[in-house]
């Protein structure tokens, strides 16, 4: 596992998996915190065993609806910081597991595939950090002191930019454009990837020159 963690591609995949899951949860959290429905219309008149009636019940709870949103916001933010991603992955696990079970309990077409992949990705993030997280199970942790991309301040800054854009856009805009949000996030991510890889290449050249 340690040899894999030293390779560039796995590190990039982990960094962007944190951005992806974290950004999705921040995006979804604001509508709940603002006290709005998840759906455009009330699901009150739908059958009681339907997903839309279930969402309407949670929405009508008020405090619980906002609590879910706050939990998603915190977990998403922590994941996107990279620095506190371990805590974010742990907080996010029961949230995404709960969402996955909900999509299995009601008819959501192919949504369980998406939520299942998100759950798998979250478990992958925990497995990636297992050497340190295992202290929670009374096992001796192993702290990695090696220099890796995910420890670079640059990736924390990109995560903060993605978070601030997503948070501000969802907070200020009620009738959002999903395509605009996604394309903007992709452009920010691509910019980060290009600059980040350039910085890493430059770091390795400087390291070789000093050997």
DSSP state of 82: S
The stretches of the chain forming alpha helices (DSSP H) are 2-5, 8-33, 51-60, 63-80, 85-105, 111-128, 130-133, 153-172, 178-209
10 Å CB burial of residue 176 (0-12, 13-18, 19+) is middle
In this prediction, residue 210 carries a pLDDT of 67
pLDDT, position 211: 61
pLDDT at 108: 83
Per-residue pLDDT of the chain (211 residues; tens, 9 = 90+): 667 887 889 999 999 999 999 999 999 999 999 988 877 777 677 788 888 888 888 888 889 999 999 999 999 999 999 999 999 999 999 999 999 999 999 888 889 999 999 999 999 999 998 888 888 888 888 877 776 777 789 999 999 999 999 999 999 887 888 899 999 999 999 999 999 988 888 877 777 776 6
Give pLDDT, residue 53. 82
Q: For residue 57, what pLDDT is reported?
A: 86
> What's the pLDDT at 95?
95
By CB neighbour count within 10 A (0-12 exposed, 13-18 middle, 19+ buried), where does 83 fall? Answer: middle
* pTM to 2 decimal places: 0.90
CA atoms within 13 A on the CB side of 30: 20
What count of other Cβ atoms lies within 10 Å of the Cβ of residue 162?
Answer: 21
What is the pLDDT, as a whole number, of residue 131?
A: 87
């Amino acid at each position: 596992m340690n040899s894999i963690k030293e390779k560039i591609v796995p590190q990039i995949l982990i960094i962007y998996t944190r951005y992806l899951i974290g950004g999705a949860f921040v995006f979804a959290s604001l509508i709940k915190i603002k006290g709005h429905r998840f759906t455009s219309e009330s699901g009150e008149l739908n059958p009681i065993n339907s997903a839309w009636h279930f969402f309407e019940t949670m929405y009508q709870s008020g405090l619980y609806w906002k609590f879910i949103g706050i939990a998603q916001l915190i977990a998403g933010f922590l994941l996107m910081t990279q620095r506190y991603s371990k805590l974010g992955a742990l907080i996010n696990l029961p949230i995404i597991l709960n969402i996955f079970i909900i999509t299995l309990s009601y008819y959501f077409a192919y949504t369980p595939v998406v939520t299942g992949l998100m759950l798998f990705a979250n478990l992958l993030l925990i497995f990636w950090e297992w050497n340190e997280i295992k202290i929670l199970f009374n096992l001796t942790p192993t702290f990695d002191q090696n220099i890796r991309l995910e420890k670079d301040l640059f990736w924390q800054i990109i995560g903060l930019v993605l978070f601030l854009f997503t948070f501000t856009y969802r907070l200020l805009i009620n009738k959002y454009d999903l395509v605009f949000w996604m394309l903007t996030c992709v452009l920010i991510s691509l910019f980060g990837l290009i600059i980040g890889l350039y910085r890493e290449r430059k770091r390795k050249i400087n390291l070789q020159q000093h050997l």
